[in-house]
Structure 1
Amino acid sequence: MNQAIRNSWVVIVAMFMVLVVAISVIQVIAADALKNNDFNSRQLYQEFGSARGPILVDGNPIAESVESNDDFNYQRVYHDTELYSGLTGFYSLTYGATGLEDKLNRYLAGSSDGQFVDRIIELFSGTQMEGAQVELTIDPDMQELAYSVMPEGVEASVVITDPESGDILAMASKPSYDTNLLATHSGAEASANMAELQSVPGLSPYLNRPTASLPAPGSTFKLIDTVAMLESGEYQPDQVLDVPDSITLPNTTTPLGNFGGGLCGRLDEATLAEIFAQSCNTPFALAAMELGQDRIRTTAENFGFNESFDIPLTVAASQFPEDLDDAALAQSSIGQRDVKATALQMNMVAAAIANDGTMMKPQLIDTIRGSDLTLLEDVQPEVFKRSTTPEIAEQMTELMRGPLDGGTAYRAQSETVDIAAKTGTAQLGADNDLVNSWITGFAPADDPQVAVTIVYQNIDFDTGSELTSTNLKEIMEAVVTQ
Structure 2
Amino acid sequence: MVHGNEYKLRALEQGSIRVSLEEIPRGRVLDRHGIDSLTQGQREPRVVVFPEIIQAKEEASLLLSQVIRREPEELFRYLNGEAGFLPFALTKGQVRQIQELNILGLMVQEIDYRYGPKPLAAHVIGHLGPISDRSLLERLNNLEGKQYKLSDLIGKSGLEYFYEGVLKAGEPVSMVRAHVDVYRNLIAGLGIKKEEDRDTGRQDLITTLDGEIQRAVEEVMDRRVERGAVVIMDARNGDLLAMASRPNFNPGNVALSLPGDHDTFLDHCTALYQPGSIFKVVVAAAALEEGMVKPSDTFVCLGEHDHLVRCWHKPGHGPITFEEAFAQSCNPVFAELGLKLGAEKLITYAKAFGLESQKIIGYPVSRDPRQDLDLIGKPYSLVNSSIGQGPVLTTPVQLTAMINVIVNGGMYIEPRLVKELRAENGQTSRHFSLGNSHKVISSETARELKRLLGLVTTQGVGKEAGIQSYGSAGKTGSAELAGNTDRVNAWFCGFAPMESPKYIVTVLVEEGVSGGLTAAPVFREILEAILDHPH
Q: Same fold (TM over 0.5)?
A: yes
C-alpha change, 1:160 and 1:127, in structure 2 (3 Å) is closer
Pick one of 309, 312, 320 that aligns with 2:359: 309
Pick one of 327, 341, 347 that aligns with 1:277: 327
Question: What percentage of residue pairs aligned between the two structures are identical?
Answer: 25
Instruction: List per-residue Cα deviations over 1:415-438 (Å, max 9, x = no partner).
Output: 201211100001113521220000
Q: Supply the distance in 2 between the matched residues of 1:376 and 1:106 (Cα, whole angstroms).
A: 14
Cα distance, 1:170 vs. partner? Answer: 1.0
Moved more, 131-140 or 465-474: 465-474
Question: Paired residue for 1:298?
Answer: 348
Pick one of 462, 475, 482 that aligns with 2:526: 475
Indicate if the aligned counterparts of 2:42 and 2:116 stay in contact, CA closer than 8 A: no
Instruction: List per-residue Cα deviations over 1:327-370 (Å, max 9, x = no partner).
Output: 31100111111211111111111111111111222121233210
**Equivalences for residues 36-435 of structure 1 within 5 A:** 51-57=25-31, 58=33, 59-63=35-39, 77-79=114-116, 81=118, 83-94=120-131, 96-97=154-155, 98-109=157-168, 129-150=200-221, 151=223, 154-182=226-254, 193=255, 197-201=257-261, 203-205=263-265, 207-211=266-270, 213-245=271-303, 246-249=305-308, 256-260=309-313, 265-314=315-364, 316=367, 318-322=371-375, 324-325=377-378, 327-429=380-482, 431-435=484-488
Indicate if the aligned counterparts of 2:470 and 2:496 stay in contact, CA closer than 8 A: yes
C-alpha change, 1:71 and 1:313, in structure 2 (3 Å) is farther
Q: Supply the distance in 1 between the matched residues of 2:125 and 2:211 (Cα, whole angstroms).
A: 14
Pick one of 487, 506, 509 that aligns with 1:456: 509
Cα distance, 1:56 vs. partner? Answer: 1.4
Indicate if the aligned counterparts of 1:242 and 1:268 stay in contact, CA closer than 8 A: yes
Cα distance, 1:75 vs. partner? Answer: 8.7
C-alpha change, 1:312 and 1:346, in structure 2 (3 Å) is same
Q: Return 5+ residue gaps in structure 1 as ranges.
A: 1-11, 20-47, 112-125, 183-192, 250-255
Moved more, 273-282 or 402-411: 402-411
C-alpha change, 1:269 and 1:72, in structure 2 (3 Å) is farther
Between Structure 1 and Structure 2, how many residues are aligned?
A: 402
- TM-score normalised by L of structure 1: 0.75
Moved more, 327-336 or 467-476: 467-476
C-alpha change, 1:50 and 1:413, in structure 2 (3 Å) is closer
Q: Supply the distance in 1 between the matched residues of 2:421 and 2:359 (Cα, whole angstroms).
A: 20
Aligned residue identity for 1:84: A
Q: Supply the distance in 2 between the matched residues of 1:241 and 1:465 (Cα, whole angstroms).
A: 23
Q: SS of the counterpart of 1:60?
A: coil
Q: Supply the distance in 1 between the matched residues of 2:117 and 2:415 (Cα, whole angstroms).
A: 23
| Greater radius of gyration (CA) | 2
Question: Paired residue for 1:119?
Answer: none
Runs of 4+ that moved beyond 4 A: 64-76, 315-319
Cα distance, 1:267 vs. partner? Answer: 2.4
C-alpha change, 1:362 and 1:80, in structure 2 (3 Å) is farther
Q: Return 5+ residue gaps in structure 2 as ranges.
A: 5-21, 50-81, 86-110, 133-153, 171-196
Cα distance, 1:308 vs. partner? Answer: 2.5
Instruction: List per-residue Cα deviations over 1:375-416 (Å, max 9, x = no partner).
Output: 112333222442222111111100101111221101122220
Q: Supply the distance in 1 between the matched residues of 2:220 and 2:262 (Cα, whole angstroms).
A: 18
Question: Paired residue for 1:39?
Answer: none
Cα distance, 1:80 vs. partner? Answer: 5.4
C-alpha change, 1:324 and 1:71, in structure 2 (3 Å) is farther
Indicate if the aligned counterparts of 1:240 and 1:270 stay in contact, CA closer than 8 A: yes
Cα distance, 1:285 vs. partner? Answer: 0.6
RMSD (Å), alpha carbons: 3.1
C-alpha change, 1:203 and 1:323, in structure 2 (3 Å) is closer
Structure with the higher helix share, 1 or 2: 1
- TM-score normalised by L of structure 2: 0.68
C-alpha change, 1:470 and 1:152, in structure 2 (3 Å) is closer
Instruction: List per-residue Cα deviations over 1:11-59 (Å, max 9, x = no partner).
Output: x9xx99xx9xxxxxxxxxxxxxxxxxxxxxxxxxxxx997321111240
C-alpha change, 1:270 and 1:127, in structure 2 (3 Å) is closer
Q: Supply the distance in 1 between the matched residues of 2:360 and 2:239 (Cα, whole angstroms).
A: 14
Q: Supply the distance in 2 between the matched residues of 1:413 and 1:128 (Cα, whole angstroms).
A: 52
Question: Paired residue for 1:190?
Answer: none
Cα distance, 1:303 vs. partner? Answer: 1.0
